[in-house]
Each structure stands twice: as C-alpha cells, then as structure tokens.
Chain A
Amino acid sequence: MKHLQKNIRRIAILLCALFVLLASYGAYSISTYGNRWFASSANTFARAKKKDVIAGSILDRNGVVLAASENGSRVYQEDLAARKAVVHAVGDSMNNVNNSAESFFATYLYGFEMSFLERAGCALKGEARRGDTVQLTIDSRLASYVASIFPSGKAGAVVVMNYKTGEVLTEQSFPNFDPMNITSAVRSDPQKPFFNRAIQGLYTPGSTFKIVTAASALENLADIESLSFNCTGILQLGERMITDAGTNLAEGKITQHGDLNLKKAFQVSCNNTFARVALQLGDQRLRKTAEQFGFNDNFLFRDIVVENSSYPTANRNEGEIAWTGAGQSALSVSPLHMCMIASAVANQGVMMEPRMLLAATAHTGSQRAAFSTRVYKTPLTKERAAVLKDYMRAVVTSGTGAAAQLSGIKVCGKTGSAEIDTQENTNAWFVGFLDEESSPYALSIVVEDGGGGGSVAAPIARQILSWLLDHGY
C-alpha cells in the first residue's frame, strides 16, 4: 500500500504537469502569434464586427490619406496610379492581400483596441464607434514613382527602407491591381496580383547572397583577403559544374576571371571563387553565418509579417554547398529580408527590425500605439561591415553594379542574376544602399525573368536613389 501511494503521488505530479503545459503553451502561442491569427483573412468574426464600426483611415508618412471610410464603404486614393502603387502595403477592403495594413492593423482600424469605457461612451451617445487612424511609414509619392519606372509587364518587387530605423518607405509587388475595381481578370491572372512578393515572395537570392558568403569568409577564414584565387571558368564537383554568367558550353563560350582576390571576385561576382570559398567554409559555418543574418529564423516582427527565409538544413553534397556559396541551390529569401541584409552592412553590422506602423491614433486624438525602433540582430562586427561596405562600393564603382552609380554620391550594392529552376532566364536582383550619413536608405529590387541584375535591376536602383536624394531624403 505504501508503494502504491508513492506511485500515485508521482502520477499526480505528472498529470498536473500536463495541465500546466496546456496553460503555458496556450499563453505562449496566443501572446506570440495571436495578432497574426487575428489578422488572418480567414477571421470571419472580425469581418462581421467591422460592419458596426467606422473604420479608421490609413495615412502615409506625410499624412496623405491612402484609405478612408465614406458612407460605409472603403475608398482609396483618387488617382488610379497612386492607389495601385501602394495596394500591397495598404491592402483592400476584401482582404485579398494577406497581411496588408487593412488586415494586419485591423485591431486598430476597427476599434478592437478601444477600452470598455470608450465603447460605453459611444453607446451612451448613440454614436457609431470610430476606429483608430493608422499612419504607415510608407511614402506614397515614392511608391508612385517606383511603379512608374518598374519594367511594365514584369513581375517583381521593390523594397526601400531606412537602415538606421528600420522604417520601410515602400514595399511594392508587381503586378499590382486597383483595389476599387477588382475584376475577374485580376482574380484569374496567372501572375497573381494579390500576392505580395515583397514580403511573401520567396526567391533564390543568386549572387546577392555572396554578401553572406563573404561575411562568413571574413569571420571564419584568416587571411582570406590576401589569398589569391584562379578562376578557370569551370569547377567540376561530382555531377555538378560551377560556371559563371556568360558561359555557354554548347557555343563553346567560357567566362574566365583569371587570378583574383576575394574583393575582386565579389566585384565581378565570380561564382567559381565563391564556390571554392563555400567549400573551404563548409556547410556548417556558412549556415551559421546565414542564420546570424536571419535565415531559418521565425520572423515575428511587431508590425510587418515577413515570410521566413531558409537555408537548407539537410546533409548536402559538395556541389550543392558550392552552389550555395554563389547563392543558388535551395536557398530562399524575400526581397524585404534581402534589403535587411544590405541594411546590416550599411548600418555598421546592426540589422534593425523592419517597421511599417508609424503611429495609431484614436479619433479623440490620443495616441494608441507607437513603436520604438528595435535592433533585430547584429550579424557583423563594425570592422567586417566596413570591409563588406568597401566591397559593395567597388561593385558599383567598377563592377557588375556600375549602372547604379550616381555622381558625387556613395552608392554601394550587389547585383544578382538568379537562375530559376533550370531555365535560361534569370531573375534580376539588386540590393544596395546609400552610404551617406544624412540619407541612410537601403533598397532591394527583384525583376522576375528580368535578365541580368547589373543591366536591369541596377538602373532602377539608380533612379530610385536619385529620386530619394531629390526629394529630401
């Protein structure tokens, strides 16, 4: 009987522990993911509740009204081009765009944050409840400008952010659509206009990933900067072959870079060298650096939902590791995350949390919420960030990114031409930033099926950066 009682006591502790587990897991998951669940387009309860509330307006950073409620319906900017340009950031009243301001900030816009007293006050006065006004970090004029220069007919994304504060000036996806006239053609468009490529589109980073590979090499391999590599154009690893852009074996064309150091290899984007660097690093060290930059992390930013980036974790062969060093092979990253990576280099190795919400204000004028800036990660030391910045500067002054150059202004960047599956065509990438104390802006551009990053994406970057400087940024 004594034994029995002792055993029963142990069982009782176990059973109680199960209940503690239930309660603590519930509390944890609701506090971490609750706002994302609430904002989901599948939330029919919130949608029904919205009918009783006059939704608040959405403003851009300069106070331009991007969305407002008029006579029970939602209206967006009058100018067609302007409202199309910001549609993915702002969203539409039917929540076709996932995690846009209209859905992710619904808790403010539709007055779910109102206190009991405020609700009671409205009920007593017989007034309809008014949601909060939400001000975004977006600049509507910039968005319109970007939309006007983005290659027409192409899909892709553009992100511009302040690398010191993390404020996102624009996050745009192409093709876009008119939120006030959603036609069946838009719904059935194979390019999926509702899909927000800037934060949800997962792309192969291509050569832009060489920033991460170079960061890993600087951290882990001593004297890597003084080493010399010899690029013969072709590196055979098992069944896989590492080649450089421009190589076409059928036509007998082989791109060779000859003798070069890491900086030069970065500047001309030599796959051959970076493949060898990746092999020297090994999968584990390269993955560790990538994870320091946010790969494989569960992004839980406070006011913007970004798809998680991934660095493959399965055991891989040499050919795959080598291609990873050059940014191919099973890597995936969103344009916004790539912009954050460039930002970390620009901001002395400190990666800021991206932000979309400037302020939420109750209709009485009192401020409901305003978030402070927050550091997300510090993937680089100051010194390594300075070296990488120098490399990225060289890309623009005399490398693949020359088309992004602005006279008298320090532009840094990295191009990428990422292969899509095994097709001939490539996605054009450019990530970069202004290395100017008073204009701390980074950007990231993807043009799907666009061709070379240097020839297609870099000129867009130059135009955007020059617009920023012209408009007081």
Chain B
Amino acid sequence: MSEKSLKRARLEPGRAMLLAVMAFFFLGFFLLAMKDGKWESFALSLIVPAIIFVGTAGISRLFPSDRLLLSLTNFLCALGVLVLYRLSPQRGLAQAFNYGVGVGCMILCTFLVRYIAHWKWLTGLMMLGSMGLLSLPLLIGSETNGAKNWISIAGYSMQPSEIVKLALLLCVAYLLSQRKTVWTVLFSGACLMLLMLQKDLGTALLYFCVVFVMLYAATGSLPLVIAGVIGGAGAAWAGYTLFAHVKRRVAIWLNPWADMSGAGYQIVQSLIAIVNGSFWGVGLGLGNASVIPEYYNDFIFSVILHEFGMVFGLIVLCMYLFIIIRGVMIAQRSRTVFHSLLAIGCSALIALQTFVIIGGNIKLIPLTGVTLPFISYGGTSMVASLCVIGLLQGVASRNAAGVTADRELAMYGGEQP
C-alpha cells in the first residue's frame, strides 16, 4: 500500500466527523438566524464552520497532527461561540474573532514545538518574561471580584496569568527534563507568590496542581506526593484564613440557599438553570440562563446544561475527557522527556481547569474564577487554551516524525536512500 493511500484510508472517519461538526454549527447558527433574521447570524453560520475547517483539515495539511484532538477542540470552541452568540450577540461575535485568532496562535505554537530544538535560552527568557507579566497587574492592574489579575493596555484588557500558563508549561517541562528540580520549585513558587499577591487564588490553585502533576511525572517519588498534598492543604488553609473573599466563597458553597437572593444568588441560579434544562434541555434560544451573573464566563457550562440538557452536558464532558486522553497518549508516545512532560502538563492543565470550574458550577467544590477552556468568553482565555492544544499538537507532530523515521529505518536498514 502506498504512503498516500494509507494516509487517505486512515483519515476517512476523521473527515466524516469534521463534516458532522461543521454541519452542527451551520445548523445551530442558521436556526438562530431564522429566529432573529440578522445578517450577522447568517454570516456566522458560514464563518464558524470555515474556521472549524481551517482549524482541523487546514492544520493537518501543514504537518501531521492528531485530527480527533483537533475536531473535539474546534467543536468546543464553536460551541462557546454559538452559546454566547445566542445569549449576547455582541459577545458571540467577539468570541468568533477570538476563536479565529486562537486558531492562528495554535498553529504558531505547534510550529514552535515542532521546529525548536534548543530550549535553554528560550526557557530563561520565558522565566523572566513570566515574572514581569505576573507583576504587571500588581502595578497597573484593576480589581474584579476580589482579585487583581487584569491589566488593560490601549483599550484591550487581558489576564497575564493566562499567557504565563503556557510559559509555565514549557519552562517546567524543560527544567524537569534537565533534572533541575530546585529551579522548578523556585520558579513555580515565585509564580504562585505573585498570584497570591494578586489574590487570584483559583489560578494559583491550578498552577500548583499542574506543576505538582508534572513533578510527579518526572520523579514519581512518594515523599514528594505527601509533601505536595500537605503543602497544598497548608496553602488552602492560609488562603482561607487570610482572604475574606475566600471565606465568603466557602460559606456560599456550603449553603448558597441561606442567602439565595444575595450572596448565594449566582450558584442558586446556576443549579436552578441546570434542573430547568433537565435531560434534553429547553432548546437553543429558548432558555433564560442569562439570569445567572457571569453566565458568559464562569457559568457557561450551566448555560449549556440549561439549553442543551444534561445528556448533551455529559457528552461535552466526555469530549473534554477524550481531549485529555488523547493528550496522555501523545505524552506516552513522545520520544524525549521534555516533550512527554510538556504533553502531560498540557493535558493536566485542561483537565484540572475543567474540573475546577464545572465542579464550582454544580456545587461540588467552592467556586473559583477560572474559565472553562475553549468555551468561556474571553480573548486571553481562548487564545491560551488553543495554544495549549497547539503545544500538544507540536508534540504529536514530533511523534509522527519519529514514527516516520523509524519506518524508514526499518525499510532501508539504516541507510538513507
């Protein structure tokens, strides 16, 4: 079987899936367009499938990539655009733009991982840059919801901690692959301190868990696990006693119904929206989930459950799970410690972030202000999430290159043709 026909045969199911995803969103936006009759809606019904096409089929033309991973990611991103557009057209259009930019950045990240072989100087640079970026909100930031983690430059606001996430993944993976555990701990500790100073405890928790997972992957030592758990518990206790807004959130989590029109309003409305949706949802465009404050950001998953129902919610959850499992597989197959750690870090980041925010939505854990990857409204968050997938794709394409090399080696017995 020639290389080309082999490739085609392998791609068939992927192509069918891509078509299904594109059709889903074409119909979704078309439905909204029939309802409101606006030209933007009709335009989106073509633009969003087009971005999906570029984001999946387009990328796999550039370099070998994991098409299942791409299709799922694009589905979730487009779902975010759809739900946001339905609730607030302005935010939906902005999110479509973010999505487009995000796909571009994703490609860029894939190229970086694919073609950069020497990370030493780059890592040093990124570590310095991260410190600088994380210090910015403390100097010129603005406070929202008790945390001071946003900066605005020339009318554009952004959350540096989202961008630093990527640097954190790359730096920690590199440092650990060089067995520089002390540096890892110092760097991530410094990042955590800066986040604590910003009072952005949700992100701090996420950083901590991701670094911890990567440390465990690299060393596998039991004392480290115990130290990490104790350290995490200690930090959580310190956060609880030091910060009033953490105490408040824990109290709301324990019993939101005690003050259901005041402090507990958000989570109560989220739970109510979920049960109103029931199994099959109230239908796209027929719900009223915008009564939940921050519905477009922290509570976007509740909106999805409300309009599409619990069954669909479970499917979305499975999509995240598949993305993570794909990520783990990429990590297992990678040829260098650095790439393996990078891939498992990326998977863990997506998994933990999803868990923390959905857990907050359904009252499993106290609510933290992290975003739902790919779906939540926000440029920085969207770009960062897609970049994480870009990093994963980079590792995947390196793995594929390795496999091809192996095959050639087997075919020609080590001699180049």
| A residues apposed to B, CB below 8 Å | 1, 3-12, 15-16, 18-19, 21-23, 25-26, 29-30, 33-35, 37-38, 40, 42-46, 48
C-alpha gap A40/B268 in the complex (Å): 9
Count of chain A to chain B residue pairs whose CB atoms are closer than 8 Å in the complex: 109
CA distance A19 to B319 in the complex (A): 11
Residues of B within 8 A of A5 (CB): 332, 340
Q: Residues of B contacting A4 with CB < 8 Å?
A: 217-218, 220, 337, 340-341
Beta-carbon contact of B347 and A15 below 8 Å: yes
List 23 A-B residue pairs with CB atoms under 8 Å apart, sorted by A's residue number.
Answer: A5-B340, A6-B220, A7-B216, A11-B344, A11-B348, A15-B328, A15-B348, A16-B325, A19-B317, A19-B321, A22-B317, A22-B362, A26-B362, A26-B364, A33-B271, A35-B275, A37-B274, A38-B275, A40-B272, A42-B260, A42-B272, A43-B276, A46-B276
Scoring B272, B287, B328, B363 by chain A CB atoms within 10 A of each residue's CB, the highest score goes to B272
**What distance in Å separates the Cβ of B323 from its nearest Cβ neighbour in chain A?**
11
Cα-based distance from A43 to B362 in the complex (angstroms): 16
Whether B275 and A19, one on each chain, are in contact in the complex, defined by CB atoms closer than 8 angstroms, is no
Given A11-B217, A48-B288: 7 more A-B contacts, CB < 8 Å: A19-B317, A22-B364, A23-B314, A26-B313, A26-B362, A37-B274, A42-B261
Shortest CB–CB separation between residue A96 and chain B, in angstroms? 13
A29 to B365, CA, bound (A): 13
B391 within 8 Å of A (CB atoms): no
Contact at A15–B276, with CB atoms within 8 Å?
no
Query: Is B201 engaged at the interface, CB distance under 8 Å to the other chain?
Result: no
Q: Determine if A38 and B276 form an interchain contact, defined as CB atoms under 8 angstroms apart.
A: yes
Cβ contacts B187-200/A at 8 Å (1 or 0 each):
00000000000000
With CB as the reference atom, state the residue of chain B lying closest to A34.
Answer: B275
Q: How far is the CB of B66 from chain A (nearest CB, A)?
A: 16
Do residues B220 and A18 form an inter-chain contact, with CB atoms below 8 A? Answer: no
Q: Which of A8, A33, A40, A48 lies in contact with B344, CB distance below 8 A?
A: A8
Give the contacts of B277-297 with A (CB-CB under 8 A). 282, 287-288, 291
User: Does chain A have a CB within 8 A of B320?
Assistant: yes
Query: In the complex, what residues of B have CB within 8 A of residue A33's CB?
Result: 271
- Asked if B355 contacts A37 (CB within 8 A), the reply is no
With A and B bound together, what is the CA distance between A4 and B362 in angstroms?
34
Q: Which residue of B lies closest to A24 (CB)?
A: B364
Q: Which of B333-372 contact A (CB under 8 A)?
A: 337, 340-341, 344, 347-348, 351-352, 354-355, 358-359, 362-364
User: With a CB–CB cut-off of 8 A, which chain A residues contact B272?
Assistant: 37-38, 40, 42-43, 45
User: Which of B213, B269, B282 meets A11, CB within 8 Å?
Assistant: B213
* Given A3-B220, A4-B217, A19-B351, A45 and B325 contact (CB-CB distance below 8 Å): no
Cross-chain contact A7 with B362 (CB below 8 angstroms):
no
| Interface residue B21 (Cβ < 8 Å from any Cβ of A) | no
Contacts of A6 in B (CB 8 A): 220
B321 lies within 8 A of A45 (CB): no
Contact of A7 among B220, B271, B287, B347 (CB under 8 A): B220
Q: Chain B, interface size: which category?
A: 35 or more
Q: Which residue of B lies closest to A25 (CB)?
A: B364
Q: Which residues of A contact B260 (CB under 8 A)?
A: 40, 42
Contact B268 A42 (CB under 8 A): yes
B375 part of interface (Cβ distance < 8 Å): no
Say whether A37 contacts B271, CB under 8 Å: yes
Q: State whether A12 and B325 are in contact (beta carbons under 8 Å apart), knowing that A6-B220, A42-B272 are contacts in the complex.
A: yes
Contact in complex: B348, A22 (CB < 8 Å): no
Contact A22 B355 (CB under 8 A): yes
Partner of A44, one of B288, B317, B344, B358: B288
Q: How far is the CB of A267 from chain B (nearest CB, A)?
A: 41
Q: Which residues of A contact B325 (CB under 8 A)?
A: 12, 16
Complex: A447 Cα to B220 Cα, angstroms: 66
Closest to B329 in A: A12
Contacts of A48 in B (CB 8 A): 288
- 10 closest pairs, A vs B, by CB? A15-B351, A12-B328, A7-B220, A45-B276, A18-B355, A34-B275, A7-B217, A25-B364, A38-B275, A37-B275
Interface 1/0s, chain B 293-316, versus A by CB < 8 A?
000000000000000001001100
A145 to B130 alpha-carbon distance, docked (Å): 75
B273 within 8 A of A: yes
Q: Are B364 and A15 in contact (CB under 8 A)?
A: no
- The answer to whether the Cβ of B331 comes within 8 Å of any Cβ in the partner chain is yes
A61 to chain B, nearest CB (A): 29
**A19 interface neighbour in B213, B331, B355, Cβ under 8 Å:** B355
A174 to B196, CA, bound (A): 52
Are B217 and A22 within 8 A (Cβ)?
Answer: no
Residue picked from A10, A21, A45, most chain B C-beta under 10 Å = A45
| Complex Cα–Cα for A8 and B330 (A) | 11
Q: For B347, give the chain A residue with the smallest CB separation.
A: A15
List chain B residues, Cβ under 8 A from A9. Answer: 332
Question: With an 8 A cutoff between CB atoms, is B324 at the interface?
Answer: yes
User: Least Cβ distance of B233 to chain A in Å?
Assistant: 17
Give the residues in chain B near A43, CB-CB below 8 Å: 272, 276
Residues of A within 8 A of B310 (CB): 26, 30
Q: Which residues of B contact A35 (CB under 8 A)?
A: 275
B336 to chain A, nearest CB (A): 9
Contact in complex: A22, B291 (CB < 8 Å): no
Select B216's contact among A11, A19, A34, A45, beta carbons within 8 Å. Answer: A11
Which B residues are in CB contact (< 8 Å) with A25? 359, 362, 364
Residues of A within 8 A of B320 (CB): 19
* Least distance between B187 CB and chain A CB atoms (Å): 21
| A30-B362 Cα distance, complex, nearest whole Å | 9
Which of B273, B275, B291 has the most C-beta atoms of chain A within 10 angstroms of its own C-beta? B275
A48 nearest CB neighbor, chain B only: B288
Q: Which residues of the partner chain B approach A44 to less than 8 Å between Cβ atoms?
A: 288, 291
Contacts of B314 in A (CB 8 A): 23
- Alpha-carbon distance A34/B220, docked complex (angstroms): 42
Q: Are A21 and B364 in contact (CB under 8 A)?
A: yes
Residues from chain A with a CB closer than 8 A to the CB of B261 are 42
The closest CB in chain A to the CB of B291 belongs to A44
